[in-house]
Amino acid sequence: MNSVNPLVPQKVTLLEIAAETPEIKTLRVAGEGGAPFDFRPGQCAMLSLPPVGEALFSITSSPDCRDSLEFSIKEAGSVTRALHALSPGQELGLRGPYGNGFPVETLKGKDLLFIGGGIGLAPLRSLINYCLAHRAGYGHIDIVYGARSPADLIRRAEINKRWPAAPDTAVYLTVDAEFPEWSGHVGFVPSYVSELAFTPENRVAVTCGPPIMIKFVLKALEELKFTPDQVITTLEMRMKCGVGKCGRCNLGSKYVCKDGPVFTLAELKTLPAEY
C-alpha cells in the first residue's frame, strides 16, 4: 500500500448514548486506547455507520478529555436517525479530525462571549470547557444560550450548574416563548445579546446556531460595535470527504471542511455568502 486512504474510517465503540432533548442525543465513543486522535476545539469528525453512510459532526468534548470523544447530534436525516438508534457497545467508524478549529492561541487573554442556539452549543462547548480547563489563559467568560423551548436546551448539567459555578463565568439562558415550567428569560438569542449590551473592548464573540439566528446575532454584535475580526462563527455544510476534494462545501476558494469550519466575520465578508 503506497499511502493510507484518508477516506477509510477507523473503528470506535459507542460507550454511551444519552438523550439531551427529544431531537438531540449525545454519543460518546472511543477507540481501544481512548480518544482515537488529538484535536483542537471546533474541529469535526466523520461518523460512519454502514450501510447507512457517513456524516460530519463537530466534536463537542474538550481536547483535554482523552478517554473518549463526544458528539451531540440532532436527528435530521438517515445517518443521524441511525446513530440515534444505536445502543452502547455498538461499533462504528470514525475518521478525522477535520477543519481548522477555534484559534485558541489568539483568543488568549481575551474576554469571551459565547452565543449559541439549539444544537449550535455543541461546537462551542468544546471550546468553553477547554477555556475553563485553562482558565488562567482567558479573561471573563459570558455564555448566552437559547433554544425554542426549555426542553430543547442541551447539556443541562453544564449550563445550569457547572458553568455558572466556574470562576469569572456568567451564563444567560433564554427560550423563544413563555413556558409554564420556565422562569428564566424569554426572547430570541440575538435580542437577548442586544439587551445584555456586551461591550466590545478586549472581547471576542464566538457564535453558532441556526443560520437565521447567526444572521441576527451578527447584526446585534455589529450594533454593539464589535468589529468583524472580533466575531467568530463556525459553519456547517454538506460534506462527503472532509478533506477539501469532493466539492460540496466551498465558499469561493475556501473549503469549510478544511479551511473552516471556523471563520471570523472578517474572513466571511470576503467570501461568497453561500452557507
Site residues (vs another protein, CB under 8 A): 1-11, 13, 50-55, 74, 76-80, 89-93, 211, 236-238, 240-241, 243-250, 252-253, 272, 274-275
CB of 17 to another protein, least distance (A): 13
Go through the chain and tell me how many residues it has: 275
Q: Measured from the CB atom, is 44 or 107 closer to another protein?
A: 44
Q: Measured from the CB atom, is 133 or 266 closer to another protein?
A: 266
CB of 235 to another protein, least distance (A): 9
CB of 233 to another protein, least distance (A): 14
List, as own/partner pairs, every contact residues 155-158 make where C-beta atoms lie below 8 angstroms and the sequence separation is at least 24, other chains included: 155/20, 155/26, 155/72, 155/121, 155/125, 156/20, 158/125, 158/129
Q: Measured from the CB atom, is 186 or 271 closer to another protein?
A: 271
Q: Measured from the CB atom, is 3 or 183 closer to another protein?
A: 3
CB of 89 to another protein, least distance (A): 5
Q: Measured from the CB atom, is 50 or 184 closer to another protein?
A: 50
CB of 198 to another protein, least distance (A): 28
The whole-angstrom distance between residue 208's C-alpha and the CA centroid of its chain comes to 7
d(CA 60, CA 235): 14
CB of 194 to another protein, least distance (A): 25
Q: Measured from the CB atom, is 134 or 238 closer to another protein?
A: 238
CB of 97 to another protein, least distance (A): 12
Q: Measured from the CB atom, is 214 or 224 closer to another protein?
A: 214
